[in-house]
């Protein structure tokens, strides 16, 4: 049993992280306590700095440390393709695959009747205006193969019909309910290459 409320509070906070239950959180905090100088202090400093500097990219919704993320700020990434993902984790997974050279659009979730999430709660209106502003040729839907993910994909495809832009989706091979973040980089690249008309 940890002695002291500060340490218990830290364990409780750590236990809220994905993949860390109370037991792993306790173990992680113990490692930090043993490596206070080499690990805990630099980690605390890095977290404090990033907590202050992190912001959402005003164009795509990626998280970085400036108003416009590195991808959106790179003129070479403006190639007429926008890849739509649910979450920042999916964007980062796509980038790890190094297969996509265009820009992204992070929705921030999926439409959900159950949770009362409508288009206005997501970045869907912003996507629709971007398609016009950025001379987009193709919108690639890289949404998860869940019911909500596919409902969202259909909603976006319908909303883009009038724009005349080509709408494609990642090839099957993305496992059902499998989130992009859990795919290996080669699989993401293959799914992108074999994308088809939505």
Pick the closer one to Zn ion by CB: 62 or 187. Answer: 62
Which 3 state secondary structure label does DSSP give 83? strand
Is the separation of the CB atoms in 29 and 2 below 8 Å? Answer: yes
> Given the structure tokens 């007429």, which residue do they identify?
80
**Which region, judged by CB under 5 A, interacts with Zn ion, from 53-61, 74-82, 139-147, 164-172?**
53-61
Q: Which of 10, 14, 25, 57 touches Zn ion by CB under 5 A?
A: 57
Residue range at the interface with Zn ion (CB under 5 A); choices 1-9, 71-79, 124-132, 166-174: 71-79
CB of 195 to Zn ion, least distance (A): 21
Residues 1-40, mask of contacts with Zn ion (x by CB under 5 A): ----------------------------------------
Strand residues in the chain grouped as ranges (E): 55-56, 63-64, 81-85, 103-106, 138-141, 166-169, 196-197
Closest CA to 87 of 103, 106, 72, 71: 106
Return the structure tokens found at 82.
């926008």
Interface pick for Zn ion out of 25, 69, 82, 127 (rule CB under 5 A): 69
Neighbours of 67 (CB within 10 A): 12
Binds Zn ion by CB under 5 A, chosen from 25, 29, 60, 106: 60
């Amino acid at each position: 049993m940890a002695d002291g409320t500060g340490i218990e509070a830290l364990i409780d906070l750590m236990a809220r992280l994905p993949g860390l239950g109370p037991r792993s959180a306790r173990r992680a905090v113990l490692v930090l306590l043993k490596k206070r100088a080499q690990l805990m202090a630099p980690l605390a400093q890095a977290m404090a700095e990033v907590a202050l500097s992190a912001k959402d990219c005003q164009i795509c919704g990626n998280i970085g440390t400036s108003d416009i993320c590195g991808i959106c700020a790179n003129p070479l990434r403006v190639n007429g393709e926008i890849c739509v993902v649910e979450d920042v984790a999916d964007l980062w997974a796509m980038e790890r695959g190094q297969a996509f050279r265009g820009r992204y659009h992070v929705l921030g979730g999926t439409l959900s009747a159950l949770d009362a999430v409508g288009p206005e709660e997501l970045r869907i209106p912003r996507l629709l205006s971007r398609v016009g502003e950025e001379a987009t040729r193709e919108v690639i839907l890289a949404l998860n193969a869940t019911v909500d993910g596919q409902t969202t994909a259909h909603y976006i495809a319908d909303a883009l019909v009038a724009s005349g832009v080509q709408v494609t989706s990642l090839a099957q091979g993305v496992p059902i309910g499998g989130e992009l973040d859990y795919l290996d980089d080669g699989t993401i690249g293959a799914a992108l290459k074999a994308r088809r008309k939505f």
